[in-house]
Amino acid sequence: MTAGNQLTRTQRDDLRTIAAMIIPASDEYKVPGADDPAIQADILATLGRDTRLVAAALDHLARLAGGPLSELDATKRDAVAQELRKNGGAAAATLVRVVLQCYYRDDRVLRSLGLELRAPFPKGHVLPDGDWSLLDPVKARGGTLRRAP
């Protein structure tokens, strides 16, 4: 069972709702909101060790809302989100971090920021096989011995 499957249907719906509140879609910048299905799938697939804290934050959110967050009007939803932000502790911080990390690794978002969709090194420079000259400065430093913890 994946971490995302450990969340109830209501928790997943609330996650999508709060994600859209954290980062709404922007037509101006041509980027999706954090509630985009691809971003939500990434969040659910990569929750891993954060599942427990994210579920705790979503449970706290549901208690504050008195039911599903998506069923509240915008004003009440904002008030509930502000209360979670103030008193949600580590669980709320983890929820926000998870949403942000998945959002900012989406290709569409990276493109809108002007970033390339690949590692910045070697920027298209191909090194010939067997050319280890880049390591010469490292080799010249000599060994560094450290006590293992």
Q: Which amino acid is at 149?
A: P
Residue 63 reports pLDDT greater than 80: yes
Report helix, strand or coil for 7.
Answer: coil
Residue 131 reports pLDDT greater than 90: no
How many angstroms separate the CA atoms of 14 and 17, rounded? 5
pTM to 2 decimal places: 0.76
Residue 13 reports pLDDT greater than 70: yes
Which pLDDT tens digit goes with each residue over 105-129? 999 999 999 888 876 666 666 667 7
Name the residue among 54, 38, 47 with its Cα closest to residue 106: 38
pLDDT of residue 143: 78
